[in-house]
A and B are shown apart, each in its own frame.
Chain A
């Protein structure tokens, strides 16, 4: 419980002002660098916040990490190098795009497999529907009833 209270204290002390997006003025060496910067800070999670990316958080650590990414981009580091730098320190947790590995196969390929299964079942149902005899003639009485309903709801 103490731990919980401590953590709450910690959150309030640091998060009180982190509810709005951070706005930095940066000058990049090239437009590509700027695009890369925004992509990286959009796809990385602020380690301090409830659930916000680096670009959407004004927590101090988010500002530091943005500055670090900016510095590394200006130094000419590639995206995989920067991502590796962050993962070495903050783990996979910092990536909003989880890397594909044994543990995330279900995540990345599960929905696709489900889609294929869905279409497979649909095909089987169609085959079954074709095989079934198509007898659904209405009796004269039923036909009259149907017509009266249709007329009724058409007016």
Chain B
């Protein structure tokens, strides 16, 4: 009886230590990351105006049969400016990947001028003026980048800037796997 009574008093320290382990686990994670519900789901269907030709459209059916990197960007977003040179460089290097630019809630004239001046990494450029495609893609802001495989399934969503290191450590291995 005496022993079991004493053992009970160890319950608080056991609870505390397990909580501490949980907190330690918590420190290693990125608290601001918002998970995507769209990974392993098909790319949502859409038909949106072409950025360079308002009378033409780009639709999701065109994004089939290859690997696509869909980049959500805008001229009002500073990190998009920062990642742009990397996108240009990578798109020139990785010729078997199709880059798609979703110009998100932006001024189309400014976007066109931006791409003409700094280089255009995108094979397809579409405008999402009202942000509805953004909502369908579950984006929280810009830049965000999605990898779509040849079956039209989203395999990865990246929040924030892309640079050479991000590409080499995250994108390249994933793309090598699905190729």
Contact = CB atoms under 8 A, between A and B. Distances in A.
Direct chain A–B contact by Cβ atoms under 8 Å: yes
A89 B38 contact: yes
Interface string B61-86: 00000000000000001110011000
B119 interface: no
B135 A9 contact: no
B35 A91 contact: yes
Q: Which 9 A-B pairs have the closest CB atoms?
A: A6-B161, A91-B37, A89-B138, A6-B160, A47-B140, A48-B140, A64-B131, A7-B160, A9-B79
Interface in B132-179: 132, 134-141, 143, 159-161, 163, 165-166
Interface residues of B, number: 30
Interface residues of A, number: 25
Contacts of A135: none
Contacts of B141: 10, 14, 48, 59-61
A90 B83 CA distance: 25
Interface in A39-92: 47-48, 50, 59-61, 64-65, 68, 87-91
Nearest to A3: B160
Given A9-B79, A10-B159, A89-B136, 5 more contacts: A6-B163, A7-B30, A11-B32, A13-B78, A89-B135
A54 B87 CA distance: 32
Contact of A3 (B34, B38, B82, B166): B166
Interface in A101-155: none
A2 interface: yes
A14 B32 CA distance: 14
B174 to A, nearest CB: 15
B158 to A, nearest CB: 9
Contact of B79 (A10, A50, A90): A10
Contacts of A6: 79, 82-83, 160-161, 163
Chain B CB within 10 Å — which of A59, A68, A91 has the most?
A91
Main secondary structure on B side of the interface with A = loop
Contacts of B78: 9, 13
B135 A65 contact: yes
Contacts of B166: 2-3
A100 to B, nearest CB: 19
Contacts of B82: 6, 9
A93 interface: yes
28 contacts: A2-B163, A2-B166, A3-B160, A6-B83, A6-B163, A7-B32, A9-B78, A9-B79, A9-B160, A9-B161, A10-B79, A10-B141, A10-B159, A13-B77, A13-B78, A14-B77, A14-B141, A48-B34, A60-B141, A61-B134, A61-B140, A64-B135, A68-B135, A87-B37, A88-B37, A90-B34, A91-B36, A91-B37
A114 to B, nearest CB: 12
Contact of B134 (A7, A9, A64): A64
